[in-house]
């Protein structure tokens, strides 16, 4: 098949290694450490600085069955309920049974979690969807920062090679179609600046999420879906991109606020804060047996309904009964953020509204983190392991990164040791054997257009009309760039990646004519297990659109007009993903 890739200069420099890990969050750094321990040469590529991955923004903690009376089976049950019928049970069982030991290995690496001063036991809290206290936290509400600190320190101590401020571009494949490295662009000056290549027989995507596809998100500015876009261009399968989790309690900074917004951790509700409307009414009571601690999709929908009933653009979080000492000691990061934006949570209600937070879908993997492209792995938020289903259970994300990163490292270590290479090989373009099919680059300003379209048409509440409108507007954004594509640069590559993941998300949301988990269709308000207890598997192709024939009781799917490239969409027979890949 003719290659699909971004328009970019040919690589001007090259590195050789055994494993290239793209991303420096909990998943990427854990893979790097475990592969290095197994004797593999590792290079970590990260879009920002090494200690600036998405992990450091995580507030809540890591879920694991560590408390008295808690078991992996109970953690499994809570995860399956939150996933709304689309979790792969084998993947969830792997997560919850291997999770406690993986967490302990993280602690052995140097991460310091909050402990009971009297007993020394790890302190545990509750979050939405959990029926037990099983969330280990650090620094009160700074778990991600502590995890990142420990892993970055360990990577530096191990002497693992790193390439910072580097945007990954495309996968390099060998003549047999196996992953053979990546091209990337280093944003800086020096020996490695501009476009280069890292050659490696094992490529691990740990690039994080795609929250910047929406106007308001908890994700940092670098979360532009680069890993999913790269994998799709390389021919890998993606799934569940329609299930974008909107965190219920993101600090509301006004109707025009854009970019990364301050998160108010679910742990605040886990410790007893309440959701209230402007009249002080706890509107989640009676909507779910767990009230404010229902799974995130239910709480987000409850907030949105109350906002619509009141004609309001936000609701409130009430933690005034905590008192100053608890806010300062247990939630210092959130307390400081509130004060910085003019709220004092000790005396004031904190304005909140849902905002894009986490992609439950991504690049499809098996239980060893392998994608449908041999040699290409994925873990963390960029991956779709089947753990999260239609809605991620709170604090399972860092755990997933740990568990499946270790599984990838074990798979890599079980393979043959790469032959020693004494000098870097010459730079090559991806699949240079034939003229590549290039995607027209969008201008940098298209990023704001994509975010506006997605926020209006494909955010918390969706319909056929809103999604059809979004699809048409996204095509218009693409078509506007065709006559005169933008010049290659970081901003145009990012905008082009955002467009691709946005179009896949919208197309899958159009096809899923039901409400399930974090996918909420006002024109199809009910869950439909008979037709939709399955996943869409999406691949990208330069060929004419191919879709599988609809089932007898299913209306024909609308053709996917991405035109150059197009989507091939098929569905799984059930909720399981996992298959043995070569």
Q: Residues with catalytic annotation? A: 296
The CA angle 515-517-521, to the nearest 5 degrees, is: 25
**Residue reference for tokens 């299913």:** 554
How many DSSP H helices and E strands does the chain contain?
Answer: 14, 27
The Cα 325–Cα 307 span in angstroms is: 31
Q: Where are the alpha helices (DSSP H) in 49-185?
A: 72-82, 89-109, 143-157
DSSP symbols for 201-250: SEEEE-----GGGSSEESS-TT-S-HHHHHHHHTT--EE-TT-EEEEEEE
Residue 478's φ and ψ, nearest 5 degrees, are -65, -50
Which tokens in the block code for residue 107?
A: 């602690």
The Cα 138–Cα 132 span in angstroms is: 18
CB atoms inside a 10 Å sphere around CB 250: 25
The Cα 387–Cα 409 span in angstroms is: 19
Helix, strand, coil percentages in the chain from 3-state DSSP, rounded to 5: 35, 20, 45
Structural contact between residues 86 and 517, judged by C-beta atoms closer than 8 angstroms: yes
Which tokens in the block code for residue 518?
A: 């974090």
The Cα 276–Cα 302 span in angstroms is: 11
Q: Which residues, in sequence order, are CB contacts of 115 under 8 Å at separation 6+?
A: 121, 122, 123
The Cα 408–Cα 180 span in angstroms is: 17
DSSP symbols for 429-453: -TTTTS--EEEPPPPTTHHHHHHHH
Which tokens in the block code for residue 501?
A: 């993941």
Taking the CA atoms of 75, 78, 83 and 84 in sequence, report the sign of the dihedral they define.
positive
Q: Which residues, in sequence order, are CB contacts of 212 under 8 Å at separation 6+?
A: 219, 221, 222, 223, 224, 225, 447, 451, 498
Helices 397-414 and 143-157 sit at what angle, rounded to 10 degrees? 20
Go through 376-398 and write b for each residue having 16 or more CB atoms within 10 A of its CB, e for each that does not: bbbbbbbbbbbbbbbbbbbbbbb
| Number of alpha carbons in the 13 Å side-chain half-sphere of residue 140 | 14
Taking the CA atoms of 75, 76, 81 and 87 in sequence, report the sign of the dihedral they define.
positive
Which tokens in the block code for residue 474?
A: 């996204």
Structural contact between residues 291 and 284, judged by C-beta atoms closer than 8 angstroms: yes
Which tokens in the block code for residue 10?
A: 């040919």
Cis peptide before 565 (omega within 30 of 0): yes
């Amino acid at each position: 098949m003719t290659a699909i890739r971004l328009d970019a200069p040919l690589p001007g420099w090259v590195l050789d290694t055994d494993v290239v890990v793209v991303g420096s969050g909990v998943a990427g750094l854990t893979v790097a450490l475990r592969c290095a321990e197994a004797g593999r040469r590792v290079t970590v590529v990260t879009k920002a600085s090494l200690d600036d991955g998405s992990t450091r923004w995580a507030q809540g903690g890591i879920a694991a069955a560590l408390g008295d009376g808690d078991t992996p089976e109970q953690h499994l049950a809570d995860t399956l309920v939150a996933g709304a019928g689309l979790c792969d049970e084998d993947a969830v069982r792997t997560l919850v049974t291997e999770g406690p030991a993986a967490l302990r290995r993280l602690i052995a690496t140097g991460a310091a979690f909050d402990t009971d001063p009297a007993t020394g036991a790890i302190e545990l809290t509750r979050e939405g969807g959990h029926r037990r206290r099983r969330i280990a936290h650090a620094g009160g509400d700074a778990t991600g920062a502590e995890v990142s600190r420990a892993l970055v320190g360990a990577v530096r101590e191990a002497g693992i090679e790193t390439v910072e401020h580097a945007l990954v571009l495309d996968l390099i494949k060998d003549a047999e179609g196996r992953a053979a490295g990546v091209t990337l662009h280093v944003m800086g000056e020096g020996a490695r600046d501009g476009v280069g290549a890292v050659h490696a027989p094992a490529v691990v995507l740990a690039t994080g999420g795609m929250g910047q596809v929406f106007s308001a998100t908890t994700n940092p500015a670098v979360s532009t879906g680069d890993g999913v876009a790269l994998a799709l261009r390389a021919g890998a399968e993606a799934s569940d991109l329609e299930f974008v989790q909107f965190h219920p309690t993101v600090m509301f900074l006004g109707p025009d606020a854009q970019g990364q917004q301050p998160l108010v951790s679910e742990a605040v509700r886990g410790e007893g804060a309440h959701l209230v409307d402007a009249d002080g009414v706890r509107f989640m009571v009676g909507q779910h047996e767990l009230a404010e601690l229902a799974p995130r999709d239910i709480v987000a929908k409850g907030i949105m309904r109350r906002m619509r009933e009141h004609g309001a653009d936000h609701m409130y979080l009430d933690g005034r009964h905590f008192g100053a000492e608890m806010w300062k000691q247990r939630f210092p990061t959130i307390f400081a953020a509130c004060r910085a934006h003019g709220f004092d949570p000790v005396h004031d209600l904190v304005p909140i509204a849902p905002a894009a937070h986490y992609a439950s879908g991504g690049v499809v993997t098996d239980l060893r983190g392998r994608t449908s492209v041999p040699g290409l792995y994925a873990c963390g938020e960029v991956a779709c392991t089947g753990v999260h289903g239609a809605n991620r259970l709170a604090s399972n994300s860092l755990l997933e990164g740990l568990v499946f990163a270790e599984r990838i490292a074990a798979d890599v270590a079980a393979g043959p040791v790469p032959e020693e290479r004494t000098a870097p090989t010459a730079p090559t373009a991806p699949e240079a054997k034939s003229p590549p099919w290039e995607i027209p680059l969008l201008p940098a300003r298209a990023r704001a257009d994509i975010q506006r379209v997605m926020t209006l048409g494909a955010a918390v509440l969706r319909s056929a009309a809103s999604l059809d409108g979004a699809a048409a507007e996204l095509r218009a954004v693409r078509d506007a760039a065709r006559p005169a594509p933008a010049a290659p640069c970081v901003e145009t590559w990012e905008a082009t990646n955002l467009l691709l993941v946005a179009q896949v998300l919208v197309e899958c949301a159009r096809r899923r004519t039901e409400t399930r988990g974090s996918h909420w269709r006002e024109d199809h308000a009910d869950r439909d297990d008979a037709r939709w207890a399955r996943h869409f598997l999406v691949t990208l192709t330069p060929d004419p659109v191919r879709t599988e024939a609809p089932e007898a009781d299913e209306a024909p799917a609308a053709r996917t007009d991405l035109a150059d490239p197009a989507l091939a969409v098929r569905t799984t027979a059930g909720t399981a993903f996992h298959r043995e890949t070569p």
